[in-house]
Amino acid sequence: MKLILPIIKKKKVGNNLSNWLFLAPCLIVLVVCAGWPLFRTIFFSFTDATLDNLKEITFVGTDNFVSLARNQEWWKAVLNTFIIAIISVPLETCLGIIVALVLNKSFKGCGIMRAVVLIPWTIPTIVSARMWAWMLNDAYGIINELLIRASIIDVPIPWTVSNTMSIVSIILVDVWKTTPYMALLLLAGLQSLPQDCFEAADVDSIPPLKKFFKLILPLMKPTIIVAMIFRTLDAVKIFDLVYILSSGNSANATMSVFARKHLVDYNEVGYGSAAATVLLFFVAFLGVIYISFSSRKMRD
């Protein structure tokens, strides 16, 4: 301890240059890998660039954004994105809390259980989306087969066909995939709660439900909100599930699918970049909420 302390003290007053030097590799990587593409995307969104002609471009001002605002397909994509986010995030949070509460109890094999629960989260989304697309297929999918054998339904449900049903399936798969992630975040929060409150509650023999609503939930509130914001940031960007599980019709596209389609399929780098930039601002807006929330929490 004696040895380390002076070093820490020295570092606190240490010169600025060495701080920047240590930060430099990280900053350079960030600028090259995130800053430059970001800048280019925003730059392209004000031009009429096409994919086969990125050099001879003209500035068109805010034309792209104006026509984006007038495009019905875009608003449909925005609506779809928010429907998916607004339904899936609360569902994942509720299920996540339940799973976290179960995992928080120590029982035989709880260590293995915690690892096993994480499996859906560890499978790459594109793989699990394909997997679910096969399982949901109405001709040879196992889900319909099981439902028919259990006599819940008579006729196979075409899960990924109609617009409404494919959004339902996307939400289902998204919930399946990200509940473990939420559970893990919430479990971490749950385990850092002060134990004395619980002991006091046990002494007073408070019923479990009341304990949950009056004690655990209020104490967990900051963690839950942070976790929900994280998830929402992710959910707004949803791409792979939609790409695989929907029929490719623009009526069930989300914002990122819309942007990709215009960027790549339609050749319109300018227009697609505008869509991507708007999506960026949506995400940035949520990010700002998160930061302001967490800094308020710090002040408290």
Taking residues 168 to 207 in sequence order and writing x for each that binds other proteins by CB under 8 A, - otherwise, the string is: ----------------------------------------
Cβ of residue 203: shortest distance to other proteins, in angstroms? 58
Nearer to other proteins, 192 or 249 (CB): 249
Which residues, 267 to 296, sit near other proteins by CB under 8 A? 267
Of 38, 65, 101, 163, the one binding other proteins by CB under 8 A = 163
Cβ contact 167:252 at 8 Å = yes
User: Does 250 participate in binding other proteins (rule CB under 8 A)?
Assistant: yes
* Contact between 58 and other proteins per CB under 8 A: yes
Work out which of 32, 94, 98, 264 binds other proteins, going by CB under 8 A.
264
**Minimum distance from residue 237 beta carbon to other proteins (Å):** 19
Identify which range of 76-84, 118-126, 158-166, 273-281 contacts other proteins by CB under 8 A.
158-166
Stretch of 91-99, 115-123, 135-143, 191-199 lying at the interface with other proteins (CB under 8 A): 135-143
How many residues sit in the footprint of other proteins (CB under 8 A)?
34
DSSP string, the chain: -TTHHHHHHHHHH--HHHHHHHHHHHHHHHIIIIIHHHHHHHHHTTB--BTTBSSS--B-TTHHHHHHHH-HHHHHHHHHHHHHHHHHHHHHHHHHHHHHHHHHS--TTHHHHHHHHTHHHHS-HHHHHHHHHHHH-TTT-HHHHHHHHTTS-SS---TTTSHHHHHHHHHHHHHHHHHHHHHHHHHHHHHTS-HHHHHHHHHTT--HHHHIIIIIHHHHHHHHHHHHHHHHHHHHT--HHHHHHS-S-GGG--HHHHHHIIIIIS--HHHHHHHHHHHHHHHHHHHHHHHHHHHHHHH-
Whether the CB-CB separation of 180 and 103 falls below 8 Å is answered with no
Query: Contact region for other proteins (CB under 8 A) — 18-26, 81-89, 98-106, 138-146?
Result: 138-146
Q: Does 83 bind other proteins (CB under 8 A)?
A: no
As beta bridge partners, residue 47 has 59
Q: Binding of other proteins at residue 161 (CB under 8 A)?
A: yes
Q: Is residue 140 at the binding interface for other proteins, with CB under 8 A as the rule?
A: yes
Residue 39 binds other proteins (CB under 8 A): no
Q: Least distance from C-beta 251 to other proteins, angstroms? A: 6
The contact set with other proteins (CB under 8 A) reads 48, 51-52, 54-59, 137-140, 148, 154-156, 158, 160-164, 246-251, 261, 264-267
